[in-house]
């Protein structure tokens, strides 16, 4: 997506790369200026999002059903959305795809929890890879959405790094991706250990005490159990509900 976005020619000079050909007799490197947004640079995600926002402003009035997914469900080159009925969902998907194409952004793939979705077997990009609906999974870091059963799962990945430091603990805690707060009790345990390290004024690479090291390794091994947790994505809510409250109850066992 990012390579599809042109940069103003006045700004090409700020995006340069040097290329040296080992077969060339000259030692002077060739200088190239990049004419599109460069993936990996700090402003790239913002520029991509800004282009989508402008695209919505320029063309959104023609495709009104695409407005909400763009405004509430877009994240760089991904977009999410849904509907209460399959027919409505197909209309939204068609308008979202059409809006992308007005900016010459072909949609590469779809992830869906219904086998009759109009785009389930289509793709704007040619591919030799066969796709089975029952096997469709969307993964973001350690969290996965298994589309057919419509459940959220966690990988429960554990690191094999033996040398535990404050830096390692912070890094491994950051990998526990949980934007919905589904495993907050687990992440809180990790963050309390980080808090103890700060209170103990332990440096980033200082050796930890055997007690702290054992405590973290025990926590890390227990993360394997996350893989057995299956959380239903849909809460049985529909758009015609004007007011919804969700309450938690303590475990009486």
Contact 75, 48 (CB under 8 A): no
**Stronger pLDDT, 95 or 128, i.e. the higher one:** 95
In the three-class reduction of DSSP (H, G, I as helix; E, B as strand; rest coil), residue 209 is classed as coil
Helix (H) or strand (E) holding 172: helix 166-174
Helices 166-174 + 184-199 axis angle, to 10: 160
What pLDDT was estimated at residue 163? 83
- Residues of the chain above pLDDT 70, percent: 89
pLDDT tier at 248, thresholds 50, 70, 90: low
Residue linked to tokens 């103990």: 200
Which CA distances in Å does 160 have to 22, 110, 221?
Answer: 39, 34, 10
Residue 130 has pLDDT above 60, yes or no: no
Range list of β-strands (E), 40-164: 74-75, 78-79, 137-140, 143-146, 151-154
pLDDT tier at 26, thresholds 50, 70, 90: low
Which CA distances in Å does 102 have to 54, 63, 81, 173?
Answer: 11, 11, 19, 41
Long-range contacts of 55-59 (CB under 8 A, 24+ apart): 55/99, 55/100, 55/102, 55/103, 56/99, 58/102, 59/99, 59/102, 59/103
Q: Which of 186, 230, 78 is nearest to 140 (CA)?
A: 78
What pLDDT was estimated at residue 99? 93
Contact 183, 176 (CB under 8 A): yes
- The β-bridge partners of 75 are 78
What pLDDT was estimated at residue 129? 46
Model-wide pTM > 0.85 = no
What pLDDT was estimated at residue 178? 86
Give pLDDT tens digits for 46-101.
Answer: 998 899 899 999 999 999 999 999 888 887 778 888 899 999 999 999 999 999 99
pLDDT tier at 22, thresholds 50, 70, 90: confident
Which CA distances in Å does 17 have to 20, 28, 36, 44, 47?
Answer: 10, 13, 13, 16, 20
What pLDDT was estimated at residue 121? 57
Domains of the chain, residue spans? 1-132, 154-232
What pLDDT was estimated at residue 45? 87
When pLDDT is averaged across residues 8-34 and rounded to a whole number, the result is: 85
pLDDT tier at 253, thresholds 50, 70, 90: very low
In the three-class reduction of DSSP (H, G, I as helix; E, B as strand; rest coil), residue 135 is classed as helix
């Amino acid at each position: 997506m990012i390579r599809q976005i042109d940069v103003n020619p006045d700004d090409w000079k700020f995006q340069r790369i040097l290329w040296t050909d080992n077969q060339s007799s000259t030692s002077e490197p060739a200088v190239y200026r990049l004419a599109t947004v460069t993936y990996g640079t700090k402003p790239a995600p913002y520029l991509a999002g800004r282009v989508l926002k402008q695209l919505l402003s320029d063309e959104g009035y023609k495709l009104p059903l695409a407005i909400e997914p763009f405004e509430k469900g877009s994240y760089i080159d991904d977009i999410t959305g849904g509907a209460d009925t399959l027919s409505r969902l197909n209309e939204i998907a068609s308008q979202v795809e059409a809006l992308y194409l007005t900016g010459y952004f072909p949609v590469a793939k779809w992830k869906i929890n219904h086998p009759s979705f109009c785009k389930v077997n289509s793709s704007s990009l040619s591919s030799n890879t066969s796709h089975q609906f029952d096997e469709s999974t969307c993964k973001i870091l350690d969290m996965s959405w298994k589309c057919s059963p419509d459940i959220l799962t966690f990988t429960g990945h554990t690191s094999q790094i033996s040398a535990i430091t404050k830096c390692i603990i912070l890094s491994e805690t950051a990998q526990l991706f949980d934007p919905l707060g589904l495993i907050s009790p687990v992440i809180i345990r990790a963050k309390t250990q980080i808090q103890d390290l700060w209170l103990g004024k332990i440096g980033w690479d200082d050796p930890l005490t055997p007690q702290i090291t054992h405590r973290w390794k025990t926590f890390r091994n227990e993360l394997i159990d996350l893989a057995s947790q299956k959380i239903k994505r849909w809460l049985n809510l529909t758009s015609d509900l004007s007011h919804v409250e969700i309450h938690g109850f303590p475990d009486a066992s």
